[in-house]
C-alpha cells in the first residue's frame, strides 16, 4: 500500500511552525494497531475514529432543515391551532373570563405598588394576555402585572425619578420594560436559557419570601390609613415607623382589615367545602378564585353609598379616584441615553426576577398538568411581551402565580384562553372606569397583602430543605434577612452569589475514593414462577459475566424461556467495587480489599476539571507514595546531598517500607468525568511523571474505565494514555492485548460478512490514520505475522473455547478460535468484534474490565520478577533454559483468572 504524502498545509505547518500534524503521541508505539489487531484474532478488530475539529464544526453548522425547525419552534401555536375545537373553546372561554374577573382588581392594585396609576396595571395584563398564546408553550400561564415585579419597578422609579424629574414615571417604567424585553429576546433566540440554571431554587424561595414580607410591610400603612411613612426604606424600618404611627390610624383601617379578613375567610370556607363536597369541587374552586373580585365589588358598593356626591378631598376614606378610559398612555417609550444609563444597574435584578418567577411557575404547573414547557421559548414569550407592551403603556410583566392557578383550576385547555381574558380587560378599560372611581385604597392594599401571603415559604418546606441540604437553609435565611434589612436586589444577589460559590467550592474540593473489590452474589428477587424451582449451584456459573444480560433476555425473548430459566434462578458471583474508607454507607462488616498489591483503583466523584485537579492529584500522589515503596531508593553519601524537599525518613521507616508492594498500576474510574480541560490534562501528565520516577525502572500502567466522551479519549491519548508506552521497550516487547469483545450485528441482520467487511475496512482506515504502521491492516486481514509482530505471543489455538457473556474481557493468551456462549447461543469468535478501539487497549468499558487488565499486568510482572530473582543475574537476558522456562511460566500465568493469579503469587 503506497504511503500517502502529506499535503501542502501539513508541510507548511512543519516547516514554519514546527508542528507535525501526523505525529502521534511520543509514547505511542509505531506498530501498536497491528499488534493489537493480531492479538485478538480471530475476533474482528475495531479502530475508533478520533473526533476532529472539522467534524465538530460540521455538526454545528446551520442547515436548511434545522433553520426551518428553529423558525417553526418560535411559534408553538402552529402545532395545535389547526386542531382547535368546540371543547377547547368552552374550556378556554370559562378560564379566560374567570381570570379576567380576578386580574382586573389585582392589576390595578399592583400598579399602585409600582407607584403608577391603576390603569397601567390593566395595560400590562392586557398585553401579556394578547401576546402569550403566540409564543408560549404552557396552557396555564397567565402573564401580567405581579406583586414582586411591581415592587421592584417601584423601587427603581423611587431612585431614578428624582434624578430625572423631567421624565414622567410611566416613561421610565416603559423604558425599563423595553430594555428588559430586548435582552430577554436575545436570550431566548440564542437559546441561553441554561444560564438560569445557575440560580438555584432556594435563592428563588428566599427572594420571594423576602419580597412577600417587604410588600406586606409596605402596604400596611395604606391599609391602616397611616400617612407619613416612607415605604421606600428597608422593610424593617417601614415596620418600625408603622408601629410608631399606629395611634394615627384612620377609618381606612376598618376597611382594609375587614377586607383582608373577609378574603381569608372566603378562601378558608371554599377550601373546606371543596374537601367535603368532592362532586362540587370545581364550583368551590371557582368561587374561591373570584373572591378578590367579589370583595372589591362589595367594598366599592359600600364606598359609593358612603362617598357619593362628595368631592375627592371630602371622602370618608381614601378612594382610587378617576381612571382614564382606553389606552391613553399608548406611544413609544423614552430612549434617552441618560435614562438608559441610569436604569442599567437595576436591570440584572429585573431580568433575574422576570425569568425565575416565570419559569418556576411554568414548570410547577407543567408537572401538575402533565406537559413540558420549553424554557427558551418561555423567555421569548416574556421578552416579546415586555418589548411590545410599553407601546400600549405597559410596564415589566411576567408569569403570575395567582393568575396561573386560576386558569389551571378553571380547566383551561390551550394558551388561547388569554385572548378571552384580554376581552374582559378591554371591557374594564372602556366600560368600567367610572366604577373604579369609588374603589377604597385600603381594600386594594388588603388585596395585595392577601395575594402575597401565599408566596411566603412555609415551615414544612424549610424542613424539607433541612432534610435534603441543611446548608441551603442557611442560604435561605441569609437571602430573607438581607432582603428585609437591606433591599430585594441585594438579597437576590447574595443568595445567587453564595449558591454559586458553594457550587464552585463543591467542585473544587470534591473528593475521589480509592476503591476495593468485593465478591457478591445476587440473592432472592426471583420471578414468581421460579419460586418452586430448586436453586442451582452458584459455582456452576462462576466466571460468567453477563447475568444481567441473561435476565433481560429472559424477560424479552420468550422462545428462550427454558434455556434462561436455569440461569435466572442461579445466584451469580461477580465483583463490585466499594470505597476502601467505607464512607459510602455500605455495611462496614463486609470485607473490602485492594484488588492486588500495587494496583490502585480511584473513582472521580464529581468530574475532573481545572477546579479540582490539584485536589485529586494531591490525593492520588500522596496515597500511592505512602502505600508503596520506591523501586530504587535514593542513596546519599552525605546529609548535604539530600535535596531540601526530600525529608529524611523517620526511625524504623526502612522496616515498614520493606513490607510495602511496588507500584504496578493505577486504574481511574471516569464514569463521572465527561470532559477534560488543559489544566486537568497537564495534572495527569505531571502525576504520571512523578509516579514513573517513583516506580522506575519499571513502568506504571494507567487504565481508564468508562471514558465515554470521544473528545476526552482523544485528549488522554494525546498525552500518552490509553496504551502501553513505547518508552519502556522491554515491557512493550512482552505486552499482550486485553480487550472486550461482543457479538457482531451481522448475525442478526441476515447479511453475513457485512459487519466483518465493515470492521475490516475500519481497521484499514484506522491504520491509514497512522502512516507509520501501514503494514498493520494487511497482516490483520491475511492472518499472517509481520516482522513487527514477531514475539507477540503464542498463535491462537483453534480448538479451545472461552465462556463469555454478551460482552466479555479476553486476553491474547486466552482468546482461542472456536465458539463462545452468549445469551443467544453458540457464537464463533469470527463473529465477535472488539467493543472499543484495539489501538487504545487501556481504555475499558467498565471498572471490572479495567481492574482485570491492570491486575493481569501486575501479576505478570511480579512473576517475571520472581523468576528473574530465582534464576540469578547471570541468567537474565542470556537466553538460557532458565529464562525460557520463566517466560513460559509467565505466559501460563496469563491464562489464569485474577483469583488464581493472586493465589499463585501468595504461594510464591
Cell numbers placing 431: 366600560
Which segment, 169-173, 280-284, 435-439, 901-905, is predicted with the most confidence on average?
169-173
Cell numbers placing 90: 368552552
pLDDT of residue 684: 92
Burial zone of 164 (CB within 10 Å; 0-12 exposed, 13-18 middle, 19+ buried): middle
In the chain, the percentage of residues whose pLDDT exceeds 90 is 19
Task: Give the integer Cα–Cα distance in Å for 178 and 384.
Answer: 9
Q: How many CB atoms lie within 10 A of CB 455?
A: 19
Which segment, 273-287, 644-658, 732-746, is predicted with the most confidence on average?
273-287
| Lowest pLDDT segment from 180-194, 294-308, 312-326, 340-354 | 312-326
pLDDT of residue 405: 82
- Residue 569 predicted with pLDDT over 60: no
Whether 598 is covered by a domain: the verdict is no
Q: How many CB atoms lie within 10 A of CB 729?
A: 9
Measured in degrees and rounded to the nearest 5, phi and psi for residue 169 equal -65, -35
Could you read off the pLDDT of 325-362 as tens digits, one per residue?
Answer: 889 888 889 888 999 999 999 899 899 889 888 888 88
- Residue 638 predicted with pLDDT over 80: no
pLDDT-derived band at 564, boundaries 50, 70, 90: very low
Q: Average pLDDT for residues 236-263, to the nearest whole number?
A: 90
- Residue 559 predicted with pLDDT over 50: no
**Residue 311 belongs to what domain range?**
77-197+250-449
pLDDT-derived band at 398, boundaries 50, 70, 90: very high
Could you read off the pLDDT of 790-810 as tens digits, one per residue?
Answer: 333 333 333 333 333 334 445
Contact 320, 300 (CB under 8 A): no
In the chain, the percentage of residues whose pLDDT exceeds 70 is 78
Contact 112, 366 (CB under 8 A): no
Q: Average pLDDT for residues 68-96, to the nearest whole number?
A: 89
- From the list 488, 441, 454, the residue with the least C-alpha distance to 111 is 441
pLDDT of residue 749: 45
Contact 704, 716 (CB under 8 A): yes
Strand pairing report for 665-669 and 701-705:
parallel
Place of cell 416565570: 358
Which segment, 268-277, 407-416, 817-826, 868-877, is predicted with the most confidence on average?
268-277
pLDDT of residue 873: 54
Q: Average pLDDT for residues 481-493, to the nearest whole number?
A: 87
- Residue 258 predicted with pLDDT over 60: yes
Distances (CA, A) of 506 to 29, 305, 465, 479, 510: 40, 64, 18, 20, 6
End-to-end Cα spacing for the chain: 49
pLDDT-derived band at 635, boundaries 50, 70, 90: low
pLDDT of residue 503: 85
pLDDT-derived band at 382, boundaries 50, 70, 90: very high
Three-state SS sequence of 824-853? CEEEEHHHEEECCCCCCCCEECCHHHHHHH
Contact 411, 115 (CB under 8 A): no
Whether the model pTM is above 0.95: no
Contacts of 793 (CB under 8 A, 6+ apart): 39, 736, 812, 813, 891
| Lowest pLDDT segment from 122-136, 420-434, 513-527 | 513-527
In sequence order, the β-bridge partners of residue 808 are 741
Longest dimension (CA), the chain: 125
Residue 77 CA from chain centroid, whole number:
29
pLDDT-derived band at 147, boundaries 50, 70, 90: confident
Contacts of 425 (CB under 8 A, 6+ apart): 100, 103, 104, 107, 122, 125, 126, 129
Q: How many domains does the chain have?
A: 1
Whether 108 is covered by a domain: the verdict is yes
Whether 676 is covered by a domain: the verdict is no
Measured in degrees and rounded to the nearest 5, phi and psi for residue 800 equal -90, 160
Between 369 and 652, where is the model more confident? 369
pLDDT of residue 755: 42
Measured in degrees and rounded to the nearest 5, phi and psi for residue 601 equal -115, 125
- Residue 545 predicted with pLDDT over 70: no
Could you read off the pLDDT of 190-235 as tens digits, one per residue?
Answer: 988 888 878 888 888 888 888 889 888 888 888 898 888 888 788 8
Residue 140: DSSP 8-state:
S
State the number of CA atoms in the 13 A half-sphere of 439 facing the CB: 28
Cell numbers placing 87: 371543547
Which segment, 52-61, 242-251, 383-392, 605-614, is predicted with the most confidence on average?
383-392
Mean pLDDT of the chain: 78
* H-run or E-run covering 657: helix 653-658
Whether 6 is covered by a domain: the verdict is no
Contacts of 234 (CB under 8 A, 6+ apart): 484, 485, 486, 487
Residue 649 CA from chain centroid, whole number:
46
State the number of CA atoms in the 13 A half-sphere of 878 facing the CB: 12
Q: Average pLDDT for residues 662-683, to the nearest whole number?
A: 91
pLDDT of residue 195: 83
Whether 283 is covered by a domain: the verdict is yes
Contacts of 579 (CB under 8 A, 6+ apart): 513, 514, 515, 516, 592, 603
pLDDT of residue 652: 64
Whether 132 is covered by a domain: the verdict is yes
- Residue 887 predicted with pLDDT over 60: no
Whether 322 is covered by a domain: the verdict is yes
pLDDT of residue 746: 58
Contact 704, 721 (CB under 8 A): yes
pLDDT-derived band at 571, boundaries 50, 70, 90: low
Whether 295 is covered by a domain: the verdict is yes
Long-range Cβ pairs for the range 742-749 (8 Å, 24+): 742/806, 742/807, 742/808, 742/832, 742/833, 742/835, 743/806, 743/822, 743/824, 743/827, 743/831, 743/832, 744/44, 744/831, 744/832, 744/833, 746/831, 747/827, 747/831
Could you read off the pLDDT of 832-885 as tens digits, one per residue?
Answer: 888 888 888 899 988 988 998 888 888 888 888 888 777 765 444 444 444 444
Task: Give the integer Cα–Cα distance in Å for 886 and 15.
Answer: 49
pLDDT of residue 264: 92
- Residue 393 predicted with pLDDT over 80: yes
Task: Give the integer Cα–Cα distance in Å for 572 and 585.
Answer: 24
Cell numbers placing 163: 434624578
Amino acid at each position: 500500500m503506497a504511503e500517502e504524502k502529506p499535503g501542502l498545509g501539513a508541510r507548511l505547518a512543519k516547516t514554519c511552525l514546527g508542528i507535525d500534524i501526523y505525529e502521534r503521541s511520543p509514547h505511542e508505539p509505531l506498530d501498536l494497531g497491528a499488534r493489537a489487531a493480531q492479538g485478538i484474532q480471530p475476533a474482528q478488530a475495531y479502530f475508533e475514529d478520533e473526533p476532529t475539529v472539522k467534524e465538530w464544526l460540521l455538526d454545528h453548522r446551520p442547515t436548511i432543515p434545522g433553520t426551518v425547525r428553529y423558525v417553526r419552534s418560535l411559534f408553538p401555536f402552529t402545532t395545535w391551532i389547526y386542531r382547535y375545537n368546540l371543547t377547547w373553546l368552552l374550556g378556554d372561554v370559562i378560564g379566560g373570563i374567570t381570570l379576567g374577573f380576578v386580574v382586573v382588581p389585582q392589576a390595578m392594585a399592583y400598579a399602585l405598588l409600582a407607584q403608577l396609576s391603576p390603569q397601567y396595571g390593566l395595560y400590562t395584563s392586557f398585553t401579556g394576555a394578547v401576546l402569550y398564546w403566540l409564543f408560549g408553550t404552557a396552557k396555564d400561564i397567565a402573564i401580567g402585572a405581579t406583586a414582586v415585579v411591581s415592587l421592584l419597578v417601584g423601587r427603581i422609579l423611587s431612585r431614578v425619578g428624582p434624578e430625572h424629574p423631567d421624565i414622567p414615571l410611566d416613561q421610565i417604567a416603559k423604558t425599563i420594560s423595553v430594555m428588559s424585553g430586548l435582552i430577554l429576546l436575545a436570550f431566548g433566540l440564542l437559546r441561553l436559557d441554561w444560564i438560569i440554571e445557575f440560580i438555584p431554587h432556594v435563592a428563588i424561595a428566599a427572594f420571594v419570601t423576602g419580597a412577600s414580607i417587604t410588600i406586606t410591610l409596605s402596604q400596611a400603612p395604606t391599609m391602616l390609613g397611616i400617612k407619613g411613612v416612607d415605604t421606600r426604606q428597608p422593610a424593617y424600618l417601614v415596620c418600625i415607623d408603622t408601629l410608631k404611627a399606629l395611634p394615627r390610624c384612620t377609618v381606612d383601617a376598618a376597611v382594609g382589615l375587614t377586607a383582608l379578613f373577609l378574603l381569608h375567610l372566603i378562601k378558608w370556607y371554599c377550601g373546606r367545602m371543596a374537601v367535603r363536597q368532592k362532586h362540587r369541587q370545581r364550583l368551590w374552586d371557582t368561587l374561591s378564585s373570584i373572591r378578590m373580585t367579589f370583595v372589591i365589588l362589595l367594598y366599592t358598593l359600600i364606598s359609593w353609598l358612603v362617598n357619593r356626591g362628595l368631592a375627592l378631598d371630602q371622602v370618608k376614606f381614601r378612594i382610587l379616584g378617576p381612571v382614564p378610559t382606553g389606552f391613553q398612555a399608548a406611544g413609544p417609550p423614552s430612549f434617552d441615553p441618560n435614562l438608559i444609563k441610569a436604569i442599567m444597574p437595576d436591570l440584572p435584578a429585573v431580568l433575574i426576577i422576570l425569568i425565575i418567577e416565570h419559569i418556576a411557575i411554568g414548570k410547577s404547573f407543567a408537572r401538575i398538568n402533565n406537559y413540558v414547557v420549553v424554557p427558551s421559548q418561555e423567555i421569548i414569550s416574556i421578552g416579546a411581551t415586555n418589548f411590545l407592551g410599553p407601546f400600549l403603556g405597559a410596564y415589566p410583566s411576567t408569569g403570575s402565580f395567582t393568575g396561573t392557578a386560576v386558569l389551571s383550576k378553571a380547566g383551561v385547555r390551550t394558551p388561547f384562553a388569554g385572548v378571552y381574558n384580554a376581552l374582559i380587560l378591554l371591557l374594564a378599560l372602556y366600560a368600567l372606569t367610572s366604577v373604579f372611581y369609588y374603589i377604597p385604597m385600603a381594600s386594594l392594599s388588603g388585596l395585595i397583602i392577601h395575594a402575597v401571603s401565599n408566596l411566603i415559604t412555609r415551615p414544612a418546606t424549610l424542613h424539607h430543605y433541612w432534610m435534603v441540604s441543611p446548608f441551603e437553609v442557611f442560604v435561605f435565611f441569609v437571602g430573607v434577612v438581607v432582603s428585609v434589612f437591606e433591599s430585594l436586589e441585594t438579597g437576590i444577589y447574595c443568595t445567587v452569589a453564595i449558591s454559586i460559590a458553594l457550587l464552585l467550592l463543591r467542585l473544587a474540593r470534591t473528593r475521589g475514593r480509592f476503591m476495593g473489590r468485593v465478591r457478591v452474589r445476587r440473592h432472592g428477587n426471583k420471578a414468581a414462577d421460579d419460586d418452586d424451582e430448586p436453586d442451582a449451584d452458584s459455582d456452576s456459573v462462576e466466571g460468567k459475566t453477563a447475568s444481567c444480560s441473561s435476565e433481560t433476555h429472559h424477560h424479552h425473548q420468550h422462545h428462550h424461556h427454558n434455556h434462561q430459566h436455569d440461569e435466572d434462578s442461579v445466584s451469580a458471583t461477580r465483583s463490585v467495587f466499594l470505597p476502601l474508607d467505607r464512607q459510602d454507607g455500605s455495611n462496614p462488616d463486609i470485607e473490602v480489599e485492594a484488588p492486588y498489591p500495587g494496583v490502585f483503583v480511584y473513582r472521580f466523584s464529581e468530574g475532573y476539571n481545572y477546579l479540582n485537579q490539584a485536589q485529586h492529584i494531591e490525593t492520588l500522589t500522596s496515597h500511592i507514595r505512602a502505600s508503596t515503596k520506591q523501586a530504587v531508593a535514593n542513596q546519599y553519601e552525605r546529609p548535604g546531598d539530600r535535596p531540601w524537599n526530600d525529608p529524611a525518613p523517620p526511625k524504623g521507616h526502612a522496616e515498614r517500607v520493606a513490607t510495602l508492594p511496588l507500584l504496578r498500576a493505577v486504574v481511574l474510574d471516569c464514569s463521572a468525568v465527561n470532559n477534560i480541560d488543559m489544566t486537568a490534562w497537564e495534572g495527569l501528565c505531571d502525576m504520571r511523571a512523578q509516579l514513573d520516577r517513583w516506580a522506575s525502572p519499571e513502568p506504571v500502567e494507567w487504565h481508564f474505565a468508562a471514558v465515554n466522551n470521544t473528545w476526552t479519549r482523544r485528549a488522554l491519548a494525546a498525552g500518552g494514555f490509553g496504551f502501553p508506552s513505547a518508552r519502556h521497550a522491554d515491557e512493550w516487547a512482552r505486552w499482550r492485548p486485553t480487550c472486550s469483545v461482543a457479538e457482531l450485528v451481522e448475525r442478526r441482520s441476515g447479511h453475513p460478512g457485512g459487519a466483518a467487511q465493515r470492521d475490516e475496512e475500519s481497521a484499514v482506515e484506522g491504520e491509514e490514520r497512522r502512516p507509520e504502521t501501514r503494514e498493520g491492516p494487511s497482516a490483520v486481514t491475511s492472518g499472517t505475522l509481520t516482522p513487527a509482530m514477531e514475539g507477540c505471543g503464542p498463535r491462537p489455538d483453534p480448538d479451545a473455547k472461552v465462556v463469555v457473556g454478551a460482552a466479555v474481557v479476553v486476553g491474547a493468551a486466552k482468546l482461542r478460535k472456536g465458539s463462545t456462549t452468549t445469551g443467544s447461543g453458540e457464537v464463533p469468535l469470527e463473529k465477535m468484534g472488539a467493543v472499543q478501539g484495539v489501538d487504545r487497549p487501556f481504555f475499558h468499558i467498565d471498572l471490572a474490565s479495567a481492574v482485570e487488565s491492570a491486575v493481569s499486568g501486575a501479576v505478570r510482572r511480579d512473576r517475571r520478577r520472581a523468576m528473574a530473582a530465582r534464576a540469578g543475574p547471570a541468567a537474565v537476558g542470556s537466553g538460557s533454559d532458565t529464562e525460557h522456562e520463566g517466560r513460559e511460566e509467565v505466559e501460563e500465568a496469563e491464562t489464569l483468572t485474577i483469583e488464581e493469579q493472586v493465589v499463585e503469587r501468595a504461594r510464591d
